[in-house]
Structure 1
């Protein structure tokens, strides 16, 4: 699991989600953060089943389960996204650039103290 580093802003990436924990706004706040971070931090490339390059243009994240464990929040997510099969882009390349549907489930572990997180493909 690779930690999700802080973005260039002074606020940790998951500070808003931590503040919304145990409220009806938690899922929406978390999904907004994950959608903003996109494929830069989510292991979408590892979850590919059809394409060769993960895209995050149409990223759809759903919260499946949440749980607090001490200083951490554990969140199970489902992610629908798209991929493409890349070719050489030559004039006679027979590989079509079709957009393909992809799906994976992830476990997100958020550190409640510093607002960083680790994410793992399940």
Structure 2
């Protein structure tokens, strides 16, 4: 994934807000949300909320710890009389983003889960 807006804002007071907005526009295809599920079977690709927990620079790489709030749900058996709830439920995970400040290339690693 590329976080080009965030690296453009690196070193400015706006960095955290720009990074937060850019992460919130990523989808489940780019983030390990499915692997982080605690109580559901499927991560949903809506209402992603990011919380920037820590920002550091190490060996020329921007390292950011992010808390992500998102929704998951149980799939059920798809039968007409299936009692499984279909309402989304809240999920949370923490990721570490390693970002190349030159290119914006980023890797997200699951810290809990």
Consecutive unaligned residues of structure 1, counting only runs of 5 or more, are 5-12
Deviation at 1:15, TM superposition (A): 1.6
1:95 is aligned to 84
Supply the RMSD in Å over aligned alpha carbons: 1.2
Q: How many residues align?
A: 111
Q: Does 1:47 align with 2:17?
A: no
CA offsets per residue over residues 60-118 of structure 1, 9 Å max, x none?
Answer: 10100000123210000001111000012221212121211101110000011221111
**1:28-74 deviation line (CA, Å, top 9, x unaligned):** 11111111112121111111101110113111101000001232100
Show the counterpart of 2:10: 21
5+ unaligned residues in a row in structure 2: which ranges?
A: none
Structure 2 match to 1:76: 65
> In structure 1, what is the equivalent of residue 46 of structure 2?
57
After TM superposition, the score normalised by the length of structure 1 is 0.85
Q: Which runs of 4+ in 1 moved over 2 A?
A: none
CA-to-aligned-CA distance 1:9-40 (integer Å, 9 cap, x gap): xxxx3121111112121111111111111212
Q: 1 or 2, which has the higher helix percentage?
A: 1
| SS of equivalent to 1:113 | coil
More strand by share: 1
